[in-house]
Amino acid sequence: MAARVGVAVRVVSGSPPPPGWAGKVWAMAQGVAAAGECGYLLFTDADIAVEPGVVADLVRAAVADDRALVSQMALLRAETGWERWIVPAFVYFFAQLYPFRRVGRPRARTAAAAGGCMLIRREVLAAAGGLERIAGARIDDVALARLLKRGPARARCWLGFTTRVHSRRPYPGLGGLWDMIARSAYTQLRYSPALLAGTVAGLSWLYLLPPLATIGGLAAAAAGPAAWWCAGAGLAGWAVMAVTYLPVLRLYRLSPLRAPCLPLIALLYAAMTVDSARRHRAGRGGEWKGRAVSPVRYRG
């Protein structure tokens, strides 16, 4: 039986968040309260544009595959020079951190969603305790996915790419992109210096070591076979990372020649992550659009 899909839009006058609530989660909660009786809720952002038919397709997919959460990562804007370098890498690293296939596996603990487009079955959200359970979450999409998938509901979730949901938010310069990453990177690491050190070490090992080994091996080629082996191993690792980056570059219709530059972008991301921790220690953690927010733990 085909699912009948109806979409209702209503403008809600919001109120400031109460103590303990993150601003976006409180806005979502007010939307849920205003929605009335409905089977599904669509959470999105003000800068997101959705093509006709997308919502209906999301509902049909959720019903057909019995998913309580269906999320699609919006196609972020990549028009300026810095956007073309930073944005695809942001999507790539997100997918490395939260492999989409594992998100869709019911028995896997990996849980994530993309906040620009999240379709939620209302009854499952209520059974999980509602948005009150993640009231203070600064990374609301991942927190919501964890609540649904790992909570009492053990809900089935799905996360994927799309070219039919677009973000219109511009980041014309490096400063805006840097702030976008730095405002939440240390939050993602749960404000842990150990996880920060591990992340920086991991980025260096995976993305910086191969090109350094390649260059160092070639520079010392006269030293003998060991140098050639070092260069060959580094080049192989460099090639593997470049190949894994190609699907994201194709998604954004960018030249594959950008793929070998991934180590330099990873170095930038490591610097942004360290700066995120520095801002937190300076009392500027979560600063966005001139506003700083203090870390709040959620009850997930």
pLDDT in tens, 18-76: 999 999 999 999 999 998 889 999 999 999 999 999 999 999 999 999 999 999 999 99
Task: Say whether both 154 and 43 belong to one domain.
Answer: yes
pLDDT digits (tens, 9 = 90+) for 122-168: 999 999 999 999 999 989 999 999 999 988 878 999 999 999 999 99
Q: Are 267 and 86 in contact (CB under 8 A)?
A: no
111: containing domain: 23-172
49-83 burial, b at 16+ Cβ within 10 Å, e below that, comes to ebeeebbebbbebbbeeebbbbbbbbbbbbebebb
The rounded percent of the chain whose pLDDT value lies above 70 is 91
- Whether 84 shows a pLDDT value over 80: the answer reads yes
Stretch 237-261: mean pLDDT? 97
Residue 54: which of 151, 164, 168, 149 has the closest Cα?
A: 164
Residue 286 lies in a domain: no
Task: Say whether both 208 and 98 belong to one domain.
Answer: no
Residue 287 lies in a domain: no
pLDDT at position 298 is 40
Task: Say whether both 146 and 219 belong to one domain.
Answer: no
> Positive or negative CA dihedral for 179, 96, 197, 144?
positive
- Whether 293 shows a pLDDT value over 80: the answer reads no
**43: phi then psi, degrees, rounded to nearest 5:** -100, 130
> Could you please report the per-residue DSSP string of 18-77?
PTT--HHHHHHHHHHHHH-S-SEEEEE-TTEEE-TTHHHHHHHHHHHTT-SEEEEEEE--
Residue 118 lies in a domain: yes
Task: Say whether both 242 and 113 belong to one domain.
Answer: no
Residue 298 lies in a domain: no
CA distances from 245 to 93, 132, 225 (A): 10, 38, 30
Residue 1 lies in a domain: no
Task: Say whether both 67 and 202 belong to one domain.
Answer: no
- Whether 271 shows a pLDDT value over 50: the answer reads yes
Stretch 103-125: mean pLDDT? 95
Task: Say whether both 101 and 149 belong to one domain.
Answer: yes
CATH of the domain at 135: 3.90.550.10
* Helix, strand, coil percent values for the chain (each to nearest 5): 55, 10, 35
Q: Which of 172, 203, 236 is the last residue of a domain?
A: 172
Q: Is the pTM of this model over 0.85?
A: yes
Task: Say whether both 148 and 119 belong to one domain.
Answer: yes
Task: Say whether both 109 and 249 belong to one domain.
Answer: no
Q: Place 1 in a pLDDT band, splitting at 50, 70 and 90.
A: very low
pLDDT at position 221 is 84
Residue 102 lies in a domain: yes
- Residue 99 or 289, more confident: 99
Task: Say whether both 163 and 200 belong to one domain.
Answer: no
Q: Place 291 in a pLDDT band, splitting at 50, 70 and 90.
A: low
Question: What is the three-class DSSP state of 217?
Answer: helix
Task: Say whether both 110 and 234 belong to one domain.
Answer: no
237-269 burial, b at 16+ Cβ within 10 Å, e below that, comes to bbeebbeebeebbebbebeeebbeebbebbebb
